[in-house]
Amino acid sequence: MSLSLPTPLVSVAWLAEHLGHEALRIVDASWYLPTMGRNGRREFDAAHIPGAIFGDLEQLADEQAPYPHTMPAPDVLAGRLGALGIGDGHAVVVYDASGQNFSAPRLWWMLRTMGHAPVAVLDGGLPAWQRAGHAVTADVHTYPPATFTSHFDASRWRDLDEMRATVAGGAEQVVDARSAGRFTGAEAEPRAGVRGGHMPGATNVHYARLVDADGMLKSPDELRATFDAAGLDLEAPIAASCGTGITACAVLLGLDVAGARRTALYDGSWTEWGSQTDTPVEKDA
């Protein structure tokens, strides 16, 4: 039995109405930086939306890659998604507990890049669910294994060589989701050996600027105004970057809602770029 899913966002009301649908898969993709003092898995074990499973972004990454959270080979990722019970006919709702769309959009982007169209982020995440008075649970839930077929869309993904060409030739706009301090180089990078600053020509749109005080994504008009103020042309190609490819996906979500359709993620992001010895780096500090 199929389920029509609004994308790329669903409301708490929509999810509450469809909770328990046999074609629905709910995934908590909460992940936090070590400096935040939070643990997504432990918080999930204590309280999550009924029927949700935990989508561990560390386990859905290429563990052999030199940089964090690198997307694994499509066939490997397809197998891991299928083992979680996410299959070709399922509508997937992803959320996190950050109140800022910190990590859920990463799994949204991964599924979209794998060619899975029926996937959406829960607007406001777990905090919005709880504010609306809906129950949470600590009960363990599993979905039976499913078949996930990869239809990898390379147009949504950028590697180091492609970004070198972009920076050298200006074929795409580059938006950086890190904090202003890290973007300018005034704030040190959290990982040893990674230079501070940004790619030449990049513009900075911190992911947290895209949500309101309640953690709800801003309206399409507000998002367009934010991107316009940053100098981004939503009709032209845009590649997004951040620290390790997590929060850049929150910017990609905002761009999607704002109407941009030619977007991609630089998966290695600043951890890869800033670790090289020959990549150009600019500082504003």
Catalytic center residues: 242
Distance CA 254, CA 59 (A): 25
199 with 281: CB under 8 angstroms? yes
Q: What is the 3-state secondary structure (H, E, C) of 24-52?
A: EEEEECCCCCHHHCCCHHHHHHHCECCCE
**Torsion over CA of 79, 161, 167 and 277, rounded to 10 degrees?**
110
Residue 198 has φ and ψ, to the nearest 5°, of -150, 170
Task: Please state whether beta strands 157-158 and 203-204 pair in parallel, antiparallel, or not at all (unpaired).
Answer: unpaired
Tell me which DSSP letter residue 65 carries: S
Residue 167's H or E segment, with its range, is helix 160-169
Cis upstream peptide for 66 (omega within 30°): no
